[in-house]
Structure 1
Amino acid sequence: MKKIFSFAQKKRQSPSSSLASPRRDCGVRASGRNAGYLLRDKDLGKLHKATSVRDVAKVQYLLLLRKQDLNDVDKVKRTPLHLACANGYPDVVSLLVERKCKLNLCDGDSRTPLIKAVECQLEEYATILLEHGSDAHLVDANNNTALHYAASGLNKDIAAKLLKHKTNIEAKNKEGYTPLLLAITENNHDMVDFFLENGADVNASDKSKRRALMIAVSCEPTGIVSPIS
């Protein structure tokens, strides 16, 4: 695969490189710690508010009263578990999971708490969810699995755990990108090698029939995936 990157770099430096197709959106948001939810009081119920400020005692109290269901969704379809996973609150995540909350409910963008945890690069919470039975095969509104977000965020440890739970390494999002092809757009040799070592298909193509080499050639030198709203 390194030969592919080396060849792609030579193509960029040659006069004909300007003829390459412009890089396209790959259908996945940029991952990272700043990928959490926008929180507005008007969207949140009591349990969601307590979760969003890490008030564990209030969460326990509301659940004890049984006036708040731990699977209730707010006005934009997020469960308390979604908020806890995105905001990085391990004690709240553990509490909700121990109370047998539903792990695979989707927010307004069809993202499960697992997908959100991986998008925010929070490995600890992704691990908790996987160990308690979160479905790693589910996809968001753009057909991205959690593994696509791991590839976008360049996190091999999270990717390895997802593969251990039998995530489909060849899953394609709406743009036809597999996690391997996403790693190529990021110009991240280590992540590309990781997917190849785990059996990813180097001949996979996106919906425009571009394979790994063509994508490597057409990528911008920075390899930064443009986020989409």
Structure 2
Amino acid sequence: MDISDESTKAQQRPARAGLPVTRRDTLQGSAALALMPLAAGDVANAAQTPARTVPAAGLRLRTTVNGQAVELDIDARSSLLDLLRERLALTGAKKGCDHGQCGACTVHVDGKRIASCLTLAAKVGGREVLTIEGLSNGAPLHPMQQAFIDHDALQCGYCTPGQIMAAVALVQEGNATSKDRIREYMSGNICRCGAYVGIVAAIEDAAAKMGAA
């Protein structure tokens, strides 16, 4: 907004309308004139202040993803989830809430399940990362993948990769001993479709087969 224009308009408005100058017109014109030096100073300061740039924070990452050695330059601020999806084209892990609350981004690091959206990519240097893409070679499927199919433990499928990775870790942790325990240790994975009954049944089924294997 050009304050000088507003001041001129405020002063000229009564003359054009053929009306006497009111107290309101006087106050508006005075306020606009008073602010003119401040506005001019702000513009001058803005012109003199150089734009700030954030320096690139890069580093060389060496890690293993799904059994394959990976070495690439990354932004030290990027998350493991973004590295997997945007740099390695491994889109199984999903970006749901991006706050570690939905579990859709669950992957394994050194055999432990983690929320990849909250994990810096720089933290997995020299470690083993496993995603849903590396859980099996396609045929046959991992027992947990097959159990999710057999028990209709999915609907839209968006959360399913994270559900399966969390479920595999749950079995490996020894926490698939009862329905209540499964529900407790899967509580960090949200299914908006509500396929929880099928998920619990699939984990029970797969746990027996994984134990036998």
Bin the TM-score by the shorter chain.
under 0.3
Q: TM-score, normalised by structure 1?
A: 0.25
Higher relative contact order (CA 8 A, sep 6+): 1
Q: TM-score, normalised by structure 2?
A: 0.27
Larger radius of gyration: 2
Name the one with the larger strand percent: 2
